[in-house]
Structure formats: C-alpha cells, structure tokens
Structure 1
Amino acid sequence: MALRFIGIDPDTGQQGSPTVWVDEKKAELVLQGWKPDSRLEAECAAFEVPGHASGIPLHEAVIRIPARMVPMLREACDVAERAGL
C-alpha cells in the first residue's frame, strides 16, 4: 500500500497526532485519530441507521478528528476522488 501523506494536526505536538493519508490505489482515506471516551463510543454503537445493525463491528473503529483538520480532510477527499477516476 502506497500512502500519500496529507497532513497532521499541528496543535498536538510530539505526543501522537491525528493524521490524514490517502491510499491512492484504493481511493480510500486513511485516518489516525484519538480514541473516543467510552460514553461517546457507546453512543456511536447505539446509533441506529436504517438497513444496518447497531454496534461497531470488531474490524471497525470510532476515532475523533479535530474540526481544525477539515481542510486536510477536504484535500484528502479530493485526492481520493481523483485516484478513483
């Protein structure tokens, strides 16, 4: 997998930072983020979406990304969209 680095949260220093990459071969976003607290994770797991079971499958995860990274996410979406064409 060849990842294209898009950006890292500039406000978190050297202690691990939310990060955005794009897998251009698969046209997918790859995100590193903070783990949510148990209350938020439980709220996400309980959320019901028509046509989907509630809960978080073992092969998936909930992460938190700060809103200040929206420009990076937009860029990553554009890159992934171009890669998928």
Structure 2
Amino acid sequence: MALQFIGIDPQTGDEESPTVWVDREKRELVLQGWRPSPELEAECAALEIPGHAVGIPDTEAVVRIPARMVDMIREACDVLERADHVR
C-alpha cells in the first residue's frame, strides 16, 4: 500500500500528529487522530441510528480530528475524486 501524505495538523508539536493520508489503490482516506475519552467513545457506541448497529466493532475505531484540518480532509477527498475521473 502506497499512502499519499496530505497533511498534518499544523498546531501540533513533535508529540502529537493528527495526520491525513490517501490510499489511492483502496480508494480510502486514512486518518490519524486522538483517541477519544472513554465517555465520548461510550457515547458514540451507544448511539442508535437507523441502519447502523449499536456499538463499535473490533475492526473499527473512533478518532478525534481537529476542525482546523477540514481543508486537508477536503484535499484528500479531491485527490480520490480526481482519481475517479482518470480511470
């Protein structure tokens, strides 16, 4: 898998690094963020939404991404969208 680096949270230091990548081959965004508090994770797991199972499967995770990274996430979406037009 060859990840394309999009960006890192500009307000983090060497110890923290919320990051955005794109996996063009799998057509996925790859996000690194902060672990949520146990309370937030429990709240997410407890939400009942039509068409969505309650809980968080072992193969999934909840992450927190700062809003200041929205432009990076948009850029990653654009990269994947442009790849669709090339195919």
TM-score range, shorter chain: over 0.9
Moved over 6 A (4+): none
Please tell me the root mean square deviation across aligned C-alpha atoms, in Å. 1.0
Residues 8-65 of structure 1: CA deviation (Å, up to 9, x unaligned): 0011110021000000111110000000001100010011111221000000000000
Partner of residue 31, structure 1: 31
Which residue identity does 1:54 align to in structure 2? V
Find out whether 1:83 has 2:83 as its counterpart.
Answer: yes
Report how many residues are paired: 85
TM-score w.r.t. the length of structure 2 is: 0.92
Which residue identity does 1:9 align to in structure 2? D
Q: Tell me, what secondary structure is at the counterpart of 2:74?
A: helix
- Taking CA–CA contacts closer than 8 Å with sequence separation of 6 or more, which of the two structures ends up with the larger relative contact order? 1
Partner of residue 69, structure 1: 69
TM-score w.r.t. the length of structure 1 is: 0.94
Q: Following superposition of structure 1 onto structure 2, how do residues 1-85 of structure 1 map, counting pairs within 5 Å? A: 1-85=1-85
- Provide the rounded CA distance (Å) in 2 between the counterparts of 1:82 and 1:47: 34
Aligned residues with identical type, % of pairs: 73
